[in-house]
Amino acid sequence: MDSVFLEQLITYGTVFIFCAAIFFFYLRKKKKTSKKTLKKVAIAKEEGLYEPVSLHPFIDPNACIGSGACIKACPEQDILGMVSGQAEVINASNCVGHGACFHACPVEAISLRIGTEKRGVDLPHVNENFETNMKGIYIAGELGGMGLIKNSVEQGQQAIDSILKNKKQKVDNAIDVAIVGAGPAGISATLAAKKHGLSSITLEQDSLGGTVFTFPRSKVVMTSPMNLPLHGKAKLYDTSKAELLELWEKVITEHDIEITENTKVENIFPQENGTFKLVTNRNTEYIANNVLLAIGRRGSPRKLGIPGEDTQKVAYRLLEPELISGKKIIVVGGGDSAIESALLLKDENEVILSYRKDKFSRLKPKNKEKIITAEKNNSISIIFNSNLVQIHPESILLQLEDESTKEFKNDLVYIFAGGELPTTFLEKAGIKVTKRFGYTVKKHK
């Protein structure tokens, strides 16, 4: 065996060993990552976070190449992980539907879905132009299945574009478009209507900002650069509710736009001439050629239906918590909104958190950690397996686990029992609503 051949053999052998070592460490790291992710999945299932509650990513295992781009792109915590070299959903309940993973995937292995094979979600029928089965009624934003501020802002503009392209015959003395809801989609649509010279009115059952306005004051809104009509690109990433509302108010004021607040549209009646009559809780009526619904999926706050709930000490959202001090407060609910509100109130007040179940589920990790710490520090009193059954001027009555009742002194009551889906409202207007199971939401790249 000559020396040249021996040297080549040694070189090839060294390269082989080096490559084998790299492959070995790669497989070990892959196995370690899979084990870590599967452990997180098990915890998520135990804590009720594995099943999605709204828009969420669905990963096609036959298309995923394991690039990990989706995991890096996700701005939330532990929504996705890697198992055996492929992406896996972990905490689906914490997904807020950014769609960042969808955009980041290089092989389009991710689709965005709402509902699962077991749990259906009521969705109105909306075509690719945001028009429902009722010609002239459009839906944009969360109500159609696509939430998140940036997505809703885009859809508000696109819906107005569709109204412009639609050659629907106009009727004299009718508004071009009535916009219901002044959240992200509604504000964007209002600005777009103004930009294109359409006559419009925007009706909001609460205040400017819609759902965003009901966030606790310090809550951070996850968003990204977006284009606002009449304003241009707004470079927002992690921004507070106050900053976002300030931007909207600035643009609306600059362009002399009016939002009619505290006015809830209770009925929409199709007219024989193709227009729509909108009737509000203030007994006001509006006639419009087109209607754009941007009201979100929660509709109106769900009430408990108990004695005393209609008093002034009861609220369904927390506003200006920094102005509340020295009060005995009960917060009802076990979701993120209830937890965040209780945490904001605890330092200056005596707070009781009442939750009807025996433990929290589907909480964001940071909220769960903070509320457990607050209980350990005795800054919040948590009463599980309890139900608020009566509200008095200076006290409240709780039903406890053993079905006995206990009275607590009380100044303020905050109820976070979710919202009632506006299904009846939609169906009365003639809009078809269907329960969808694992429905893929179309989203443009």
Model confidence, pTM: 0.72
314-420 CATH fold: FAD/NAD(P)-binding domain (3.50.50)
* Bridge partners, 350 (sequence order): 328
**Residues 123-299, CATH architecture:** 3-Layer(bba) Sandwich (3.50)
DSSP 255: T
Per-residue pLDDT tens listing for the chain (445 residues): 566 666 666 676 676 776 776 766 666 766 777 778 777 777 767 766 677 767 788 888 888 888 888 888 887 667 888 888 888 888 777 776 667 788 888 888 888 887 777 777 778 888 889 999 999 999 998 776 655 677 788 889 999 999 999 877 788 889 999 999 988 889 999 999 999 999 999 999 877 766 666 555 555 555 566 777 877 777 665 666 677 778 888 888 888 888 898 899 999 999 999 999 999 999 899 999 999 999 877 667 788 999 999 888 998 888 778 889 999 999 999 988 899 999 999 999 999 999 999 988 778 778 888 999 999 999 999 999 999 999 999 999 999 999 999 999 999 999 998 877 788 899 999 999 888 887 777 654 4
Task: Give the whole-angstrom CA distance, residue 244 versus residue 220.
Answer: 10
CA neighbor of 342 nearest in space, from 383, 365, 384, 374: 374
Task: Give the whole-angstrom CA distance, residue 142 versus residue 72.
Answer: 25
* Domain coordinates in residue numbering, the chain: 27-114, 123-299, 314-420
Instruction: Using DSSP, state whether 265 is helix, strand or coil.
Output: strand
CA distances from 246 to 25, 241, 252 (A): 52, 8, 10
What is the predicted pLDDT for the residue at 345? 94
- The amino acid at 378: N
Look at strands 412-415 and 314-315 and give their pairing: parallel
- Measured from the Cβ of residue 317, the count of other Cβ atoms closer than 10 Å reads 17
- Domain 27-114 matching CATH 3.30.70.20: the answer reads yes
CA neighbor of 414 nearest in space, from 323, 321, 299, 298: 321
Which token pair is 33? 């990552």
Tell me if 123-299 shares its fold with 314-420. Answer: yes
Burial-class residue 78 by CB neighbours within 10 Å (0-12, 13-18, 19+). middle
CA neighbor of 180 nearest in space, from 106, 248, 267: 267
